[in-house]
Amino acid sequence: MPEGHTVHRIARLHREAFAGRGVRVTSPQGRFAAGAARLDGRTLDDVEAYGKQLFYRFGSDILHIHLGLVGKFLIYHGEAPAPTAGTRLSIAAGETVAYLAGPMVCELIDPDTEKQIVAGLGPDPLGGGTEEQFAAMVARRSAPIGAALLDQSVIAGVGNVYRAEALFLCGIHPDRPARALQPREVACLWRTIAGAMRLGERLGRIVTVSPEEVGAASPEDLAASDDERLYAYRRAGLPCRRCATELRAWTVGARTITACPHCQPPHPLRRTVQDGPAGATEEVRGC
Active site residues: 2-3, 52, 255
- Of 85, 98, 80, nearest to 29 (Cα)? 85
Min separation Cβ 126 and DNA, Å? 14
Of 21 and 234, the one with the shorter C-beta distance to DNA is 234
Of 18 and 50, the one with the shorter C-beta distance to DNA is 50
Burial level of 232, CB count in 10 A (0-12/13-18/19+)? buried
Instruction: Strands of 192-273 (E only): list them.
Output: 248-252, 255-259, 269-272
Min separation Cβ 53 and DNA, Å? 8
The answer to whether 15 touches 47, Cβ cutoff 8 Å, is yes
Distance CA(282)–CA(86), nearest Å, equals: 56
Of 210 and 251, the one with the shorter C-beta distance to DNA is 251
Distance CA(256)–CA(218), nearest Å, equals: 29
Of 12 and 262, the one with the shorter C-beta distance to DNA is 12
- Of 113, 114, 132, 110, nearest to 123 (Cα)? 132
Min separation Cβ 161 and DNA, Å? 4
User: What does the binding site for DNA look like in residue numbers (CB under 7 A)?
Assistant: 1-3, 6, 29, 31, 51-52, 66, 68-72, 74, 84-88, 101-102, 104, 150, 152, 159-161, 205-206, 234, 254-256
